[in-house]
Amino acid sequence: MERPIYLDYNATTPVDPAVVEAMVPYLFERFGNASSAHAYGYEAREAMERARAQVADLIGARRGEIVFSGGGSETDNLAIQGVIFANLERRPHVVSTTVEHPAVLNTLQYLKRRFGVESTLLDVDEDGLIAPEQLARAIRPETVLVTVMHANNETGTIQPIAQLATIAQDAGVCFHVDAAQSVGKLEVDVNALGVDMLTIAAHKLYGPKGIGALYLRQGMSLDPLVHGSQQEHGLRAGTENVASMVGMGMACGIAKAKIRTEGPRLIALRDKLQTLLEERISGTVLNGHLTQRLPNTLNISLPDAVGQTVLAYAPGVAASTGSACHSGHTEPSPVLMAMGLTRDRALGALRLSLGRWTTPGEIERAAGLLADGLQKSEHLRLLA
């Protein structure tokens, strides 16, 4: 049976074969503990530091400013909790947005519940953007952290991070950006952005799952999230996952080599998919910013439809919706609702995200399959 067309690259990416090849030796022949004081340990440590340099090179950082972690969510937690726990005596305040990843929003809820940490969530406009002047008004004397997602995982909308970071810096406030969706898709330079901390997740850029990294600007100090020995600058204890670090480093190296050609290719395919769907389905509406979005991401709402139902009748396409199903009840995406969409439009959303192995032929077939899926779902609704 033919595999479905994969249009869910924002959820996760396949591991690049070159990444797998680079990792394999560190799962068997070069299996040493990077903290060991013998040849096996030296070999592992050298590989780990090469990988650290590759990650740093992708984002314009220094090697010593990269802290490996267990993934994007853990990295967000390290950044946010690390700053808060280092400043608890100040009754700290955090500024974020209503459209952040749950790794940020749920962490802020936890800090409020357990430690009374206050946070202000900035609203977004109909394109999913926050206005820089909102941030300036939200910062208080006790604000210690601003955390804003670079590119939204559902709509692809890209926030004006450099402007926001400047506002935070002028107020003496640490700025963290969750760049899990943007690193590898956009040219990201931490110095141009002016951020203090930045989250990367390997599995979003064709690396392995369960490994991520935090860019931590030199001179910044955090409380550790995982306590124990002194691995990762004392911020994340535990024997290093060298094979996955090597894989993430290789994935970052490949991304840097491909980024200037891959971006335009994906934009052309994404826009072709949008055009085909608009031709086949009258009333299709784009969600998110028309141009200020990730090159691979298309979030659209189909008329008089539930996105999850359409996908159920189009099994030849592996994609996701802007809604989450809980106990048989479909709820609209909080991100889309925060942008001011009606409930019906939010429920009709599809998130179609393209990637390295998406082809023009797949785009043509996917548009037809989704249009057919909508027709079948409409027929079912009329019979009900």
CA 245, CA 26: separation in Å to the nearest integer? 10
CA 325, CA 319: separation in Å to the nearest integer? 14
Report the SS3 class of residue 212. strand
pTM of the predicted model, to two decimals?
0.94
Whether the per-residue pLDDT at 264 is higher than 90: the answer is yes
Take residue 286 and report the two structure tokens written for it: 């784009």
User: What is the residue-averaged pLDDT of the chain?
Assistant: 94
The values of phi and psi at residue 331, to 5°, are: -115, 145
Spell out the domains of the chain, with CATH numbers in brackets.
5-11+259-383 (3.90.1150.10), 17-255 (3.40.640.10)
176 closest CA partner among 189, 188, 190: 190
Which residue among the candidates 192, 257, 268, 325 is catalytic per the annotation?
325
Q: Compute the 3-state secondary structure of the chain and give helix, strand, coil in percent, each to the nearest 5.
A: 45, 20, 35
Residue partners of 273: CB distance under 8 A and separation at least 6: 298, 352, 354, 363, 366, 367
Q: 200, 215 in Cβ contact below 8 A?
A: yes
If one counts every other C-beta atom within 10 angstroms of the C-beta of residue 85, the result is 16
Take residue 39 and report the two structure tokens written for it: 């040849």
Take residue 82 and report the two structure tokens written for it: 């690390």
pLDDT tens digits, 17-57: 999 999 999 999 899 888 888 998 999 999 999 999 999 99
Predicted confidence at residue 353, as pLDDT, reads 98
Quick check: is 174 catalytic?
A: no
The share of the chain scoring above pLDDT 70, in percent, equals: 96
pLDDT tens digits, 107-116: 999 999 999 9
